[in-house]
């Protein structure tokens, strides 16, 4: 996928004029605006249908620029930025004066990251400022991992779309709050907990989803149209077939452990063995099953280590409260 220099210049011009640019990052596509233009930032919320209290991430071009956007950078934040930027890590720090409250949902903290994608970095460099960008999807739905997904989600509402090909990581960045005594993962993502702990040399807290009180983290996030039901891996085939018999159009996330089992269902996705490939494909799989007309998706959770932690987090949110049986959901 090639993006011309003239496209980058044009996109930077759109940002300068207060417009919205969809941009590829290594995680998911973002819907970007000039972080310092409160009116442009407000348009992001309008286009996404996102409640204004939900804070955004400010994307910057290099770790060296961090101090321009935040106050009080603790040692742990420096270490993490040095090791993981550019990359799928977002740091929550105290808001610098340059960041309007519109971008932080009124919070005195701000989330910042340096994305690891040549097109995003070229845009940030040409633009010169910070770009606030949430994932380029409508509020609550599945994040886009191709430019085509962005078009399907937001269409004409975006002023310019940079097509940088499919996203390499496929799930959003890991968000780490470094404002407290102990760094804490607010959202698991592309950088694993194990990698964070290795760099910091100490445990990193992962608050249980139910205890996270961060604005913008809702149980119904990342949801396809189809209802998602999570069961144990060895129950996936039986539950899927039962639900299909009850009249559902069932999509199946077939776990690697039962990959050879034939399934009578409407559509089947073979879950990749590699967690990297699973993360890369996850949102595309959910979209595909929606497109194929499934009204119910039966899946199981991967082991919650490495990238599996982020994948399980997204599946749980896509599913809402965990259900032990698909057959409790009989109305098609
Ligand atoms: O990978 C990503 O992070 C993608 C790409 C585009 O960079 N962006 C993304 O943005 O996922 P979004 O808006 O969909 O999710 C950002 C989340 C918010 O939902 C919120 O939970 C958290 O970041 N966040 C932002 N600012 C925060 C703050 N000051 N304190 C705590 N959480 C914050
Ligand atoms: Mg999002």
CATH architecture assigned to 5-200: Alpha-Beta Complex (3.90)
- Mean per-residue pLDDT for 116-122? 98
Ligand nearest to the CA of 55: 1
pLDDT, tens only, 44-98: 999 999 988 899 999 999 999 999 999 999 999 999 999 999 999 999 999 999 9
Give 24's Cβ-side CA count (13 Å radius): 23
For the CA of 31, the closest atom of ligand 1 is 6
Name the residue ranges covered by the structural domains of the chain: 5-200, 227-318
d(CA 209, CA 307): 17
> Same CATH fold, 227-318 and 5-200?
no
* Atom 6 in ligand 1: residue holding the nearest Cα: 30
3-state secondary structure at position 178: coil
Q: Residues enclosing ligand 1, CB less than 6 A?
A: 25, 27-28, 30, 54-57, 88, 90, 92, 104, 107, 109-111, 115, 133-135, 172-173, 175, 186, 214, 216-217
Look at residue 320 in the predicted model and tell me its pLDDT. Answer: 79
Q: Which of 155, 326, 313, 320 is nearest to 232 (CA)?
A: 326
Residue 327 has pLDDT above 50, yes or no: no
In the sheet with 227-230, reading across from the earlier edge strand, the strands are 227-230, 296-299, 250-254, 267-270
For the CA of 189, the closest atom of ligand 1 is 1
d(CA 321, CA 228): 10
* Atom 31 in ligand 1: residue holding the nearest Cα: 214
**Among the CATH numbers 3.40.50.300, 3.90.1150.10, 1.10.10.10, 3.40.50.11030, which is that of 227-318?**
3.40.50.11030
pLDDT, tens only, 4-31: 999 999 999 999 999 999 999 999 999 9
Instruction: Give the helix/strand (H/E) hosting 299.
Output: strand 296-299
Q: What is the mean pLDDT of the chain?
A: 93
């Amino acid at each position: 996928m090639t993006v011309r220099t003239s496209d980058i210049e044009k996109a930077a011009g759109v940002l300068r004029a207060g417009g919205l640019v969809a941009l590829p990052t290594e995680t998911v596509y973002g819907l970007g605006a000039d972080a310092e233009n409160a009116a442009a930032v407000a348009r992001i919320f309008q286009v996404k249908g996102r409640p204004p209290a939900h804070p955004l991430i400010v994307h910057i071009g290099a770790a060296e620029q961090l101090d321009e956007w935040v106050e009080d950078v603790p040692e742990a934040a420096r270490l993490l930025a040095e090791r993981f930027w550019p990359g799928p890590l977002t740091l929550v720090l105290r808001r610098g004066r340059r960041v309007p409250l519109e971008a932080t949902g009124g919070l005195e903290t701000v989330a910042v990251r340096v994305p690891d994608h040549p097109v995003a970095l070229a845009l940030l460099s040409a633009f010169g400022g910070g770009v606030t960008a949430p994932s380029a999807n409508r509020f609550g739905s599945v994040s886009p991992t191709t430019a085509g997904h962005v078009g399907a989600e937001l269409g004409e509402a975006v002023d310019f779309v940079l097509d940088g090909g499919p996203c390499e990581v496929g799930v959003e960045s890991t968000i780490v709050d470094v404002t407290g005594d102990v760094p804490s993962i607010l959202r698991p993502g592309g950088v694993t907990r194990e990698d964070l702990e290795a760099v910091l040399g100490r445990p990193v807290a992962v608050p249980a989803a139910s205890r996270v009180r961060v604005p913008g983290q809702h149980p119904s996030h990342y949801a396809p149209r189809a209802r998602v039901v999570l069961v144990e891996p060895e129950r996936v085939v039986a539950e899927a077939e039962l639900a299909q018999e009850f009249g559902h159009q069932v999509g199946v996330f077939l776990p690697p452990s039962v990959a050879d089992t034939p399934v009578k269902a409407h559509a089947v996705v073979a879950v990749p063995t590699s967690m990297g490939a699973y993360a890369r494909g996850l949102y595309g799989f959910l979209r595909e099953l929606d497109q194929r007309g499934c009204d119910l998706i039966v899946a199981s959770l991967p082991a919650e280590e490495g990238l599996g932690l982020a994948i399980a987090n997204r599946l749980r949110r896509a599913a809402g409260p965990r259900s032990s049986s698909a057959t409790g959901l009989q109305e098609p």
